[in-house]
Amino acid sequence: MQIIVSDTAHDSIDNVFEYLANYSLKNAYQTVKGIYEYIGYLENSPYIGRYIPEFTDKRFREIIYKRTRNSTYRIIYFISESKNKIHIIYVMNSRQDIKRFFKLLNYFKNY
């Protein structure tokens, strides 16, 4: 399957980098590299992610990237089987409220 990383997802990864770079540039680079590696795993195994527990729509999934105890990230994606594509929607810290975020953006209208 083809992976498409949305602008919103790229921006969210940039935000992760900027936040972490305030404390450790090395950690910021390693974390972002790890997130993109995890995204790459989806190309051959799109169903490795779990259903998002907060949502009833099972087309949305997530994989968890955990660098350290304090830096766990949810990579949110959508599988479009008809188009044979995986859309990376957003990357967020696991402590963020996912329902609030998606409700504020009304992001589901795009899928």
Question: Rounded to an integer, what is the distance from CA 23 to the centroid of its chain?
Answer: 22
Instruction: Report d(CA 87, CA 111) in Å as an integer.
Output: 10
Question: Which two tokens mark 110?
Answer: 């795009």
Query: Domains (ranges, CATH) in the chain?
Result: 2-110 (3.30.2310.20)
Decide: 53 and 97 in contact? Cβ < 8 Å. Answer: no
Decide: 95 and 85 in contact? Cβ < 8 Å. Answer: no
pTM: 0.85
pLDDT per residue as tens digits for the range 55-89: 877 888 999 998 777 789 999 999 988 889 999 99
Instruction: Report d(CA 94, CA 66) in Å as an integer.
Output: 9
pLDDT per residue as tens digits for the range 3-56: 999 998 999 999 999 999 999 999 999 999 999 999 999 999 999 999 988 887
